[in-house]
Amino acid sequence: MPRFDLERRRLLLAAAGAGAFALGAPPAWPQASAEKSPLAAETPIPRRVLFGDPERSVVRISPDGRHVAFLAPVDGVLNAWVGPIDDPGAARPLTRVADRNLGPWLVWLHNNRHLVYFREVGGDENWQAHRVDVETGASIPLTPGPGVKSYLHQQSYHFPDELLIAHNERDKRFFDIYRINVATGQSTLLQANNGFVGFFTDPQFRVRFATRITADGGWEYLEHRADGDWHSFAKIGMSDAMATEPVEFSDDGKELYWLDSRGRDTAAAVAQDLATGATRVLAKDAKADMVEMVLEPGSYRPIASTCVRARTNWHVIDRAYAEDFANLAQLCDGDLNYVGLSDDRQQAIAYLERDAGSGRFFHYDRVAKKGRLLFKSRSALDEVPLVPLEPVVVRARDGLDLVCYLSRPRNAAPGKRLPMVLCVHGGPWSRDYWGFHNTHQWLANRGYAALSVNYRGSTGFGKNFVNAANLEWAGRMHDDLMDAVDWAIGAGIAEEKRVGIFGESYGGYATLVGLTFTPEKFACGVDLFGISNLLTFLRAVPDYWKPWQTLWKVRMGDYTAEAGQKFLQERSPLKHVERIVRPLLIGQGANDVRVKPAESEQIVAAMQARGLPVTYVYYSDEGHGFSRPENRRSFTAVAEMFLATHLGGRFEPIGDDFAGSTIAFKAGRDLIPGLG
């Protein structure tokens, strides 16, 4: 796909303030009595295997089909590599960044000479674009830094040496579009932004639309016409806003392709005739949204579209590619998740995801109709005893179907109830997918059942499912999680008194909600950078997310009105902190711009003021998510001991898993036995 600004349409969550406090040592929680794990005799799968960086990721084919670029470690840090597609073992590193992994984007220029990558500092999400010459290794920055966020907006074969990149150096609230010559680094302002959420361009690098959020939380696309003014082209109402967006113009300018839920529940792949305005459906599914399109190089016309309910399902649009997609699906026992084509359309890279083994990258020759293995993503996974990720559907109390994923210990006795951990995804406007889930594998290997729930508001299941979450934070969204837990108990999977809750971002908020709104339901909770106060969270968003605030009024609650403020306070765990009666572990990155440290610190302080024990772990070099593998390992080691203490599973000794980490205990280290 040549379109790269979709991230801007999907950034819907933000952050809150900062603070510091004195830390005491409250009395420890009582430890739960639990049976010894049935897996105690087995050697645990090392955390280094489950939570380490992949050996190969973001594998991309060069436009001429002769080379592949990918991310792989150099001295333990993910860097950009390049090698011949016919001999990937001869690949060499192009970068030698030593502080932290490169961002998960690699982009070939159509000149086949340059590769673009992105770097940030300490998890601050201010991604700076760089290019590297694949022949000489010379690298230069393409965008300003530090403190400036940039993203790749578009590329096109018409301009082999150029890209459109957006960044917010001029005004932190808005992203201007720059036309950049990647060979020289020369940057020219294409479109200044003085109030829009963003812009939409075509393969000729023309600005076609400006986008803004309407008062009802929907979208309006404004067309830039010859008179120099912006004129309304399309209005997307709030009910369709999460699932409807333009994807690309055809190269001949005759059609515009959409993912579009207007007039239906699930988004379809749609083509719009720009001369007449008429639309035609290219692909659709009754139970899941079309969420991506693969576009043909050169024509930019859709080849195929994909949707995901429980597993990934491809709908071939251009029948000339039907045999190819059938062949790709047979390359291994996984789900086809990515296809990238060379400019001549004869060579492809495909990635197939697996749940109980390493994902695999293949080179596919469209002439010979054959594929061959290039890389395993994580070869060590094929050497350890992983378990399946089982899709299950749970019926919520109001009739909604919740697509969930369940993992169980490999040697668990049939019919025996297990301690269970409910894993809550972030967003909330995202979802859990089938595939390798390191948290599930870790928990199952330690003797727990693990259950992930696509609660209402999760994307990909139709607009009615998303909109059912409006104003339901700590309401029906939480009910969905409780219904899934009750299902697991009723099905004889989970032991009622030994259920924990574990989540990141919105999932961290859900953990805090679980311990305050249903205080007896869970035996313990693990909150990673979760929101404790919805009002402070909404008031402290980064400048570049402020144009989105109208949407949050509709989805979460009107934080500008007195009634809305009261509503949001009532739905905030901090308001009900005195209800906490179960053990809590909190993890936080110092540089988190979405959920700032104040969100964790204010609930820790409130608990300490009431004499409630809490363990608080802090990382000085992380943001919204723990990027450095040393930090991931150290936090997982702490969480493992915490869960073993309160749910009774087994654990791998800490060993040297704190080595190289910036882990700091700001409260409650003594509450978790075995940390030393």
CA atoms within 13 A of residue 158's CA, in its CB half-sphere? 13
DSSP secondary structure letter of residue 42:
S
CB atoms within 10 A of CB 169: 15
The whole-angstrom distance between residue 12's C-alpha and the CA centroid of its chain comes to 12
Structure tokens at 622: 């992380």
Residue 414 CB contacts under 8 Å (≥ 6 apart), including other chains: none
For the beta sheet containing 335-341, the strands, ordered from the edge strand earlier in sequence to the opposite edge, are: 335-341, 347-353, 360-365, 370-376
The whole-angstrom distance between residue 464's C-alpha and the CA centroid of its chain comes to 22
- Neighbour-count burial of 350, counting CB atoms closer than 10 A to its CB (0-12 exposed, 13-18 middle, 19+ buried): buried
With CA atoms as reference, report the closest residue to 519 among 532, 501, 504, 536: 501
CA distance 319 to 577: 58
Whose tokens are 């998510």? That residue is 625
CA distance 315 to 103: 30
CA distance 62 to 629: 29
Q: Which of 285, 592, 621, 657 is catalytic?
A: 592
Q: Which of 305, 505, 572, 600 is catalytic?
A: 505
> Are 218 and 204 spatial neighbours (Cβ–Cβ below 8 Å)?
no
With CA atoms as reference, report the closest residue to 384 among 38, 44, 41: 44
Query: Is 64 an active-site residue?
Result: no
SS (H, E, C) 643-655: HHHHHCCCCCCCC
> Are 381 and 435 spatial neighbours (Cβ–Cβ below 8 Å)?
no
Structure tokens at 51: 């939570």
Whether omega for the bond prior to residue 419 falls within 30 degrees of 0, making it cis, is no
Query: Is 401 an active-site residue?
Result: no
Residues in a beta bridge with 83? 68
Residue 214 CB contacts under 8 Å (≥ 6 apart), including other chains: 220, 235, 238, 550
The whole-angstrom distance between residue 435's C-alpha and the CA centroid of its chain comes to 14
> Are 418 and 407 spatial neighbours (Cβ–Cβ below 8 Å)?
no
Q: Give exposure, 298-323, as e/b (b: 16+ Cβ within 10 Å).
A: eebbbbbbbbbbbebbbbbbbeebee
With CA atoms as reference, report the closest residue to 530 among 553, 504, 549, 554: 504
CA distance 294 to 463: 22
Angle at alpha carbon of residue 516, lines to 586 and 579, rounded to 5°: 105
CA distance 174 to 311: 37
Q: Which of 224, 315, 440, 624 is catalytic?
A: 624
Residues in a beta bridge with 349? 340, 363
> Are 195 and 212 spatial neighbours (Cβ–Cβ below 8 Å)?
yes
Tell me how far apart the terminal alpha carbons of the chain are, to the nearest angstrom. Answer: 50
Query: Is 624 an active-site residue?
Result: yes
With CA atoms as reference, report the closest residue to 302 among 257, 272, 244: 257
φ, ψ of residue 506 in degrees (nearest 5): -55, -35
CA distance 81 to 113: 13
Residue 637, SS3?
helix
Residue 399 CB contacts under 8 Å (≥ 6 apart), including other chains: none
Q: Which residues are catalytic?
A: 505, 592, 624
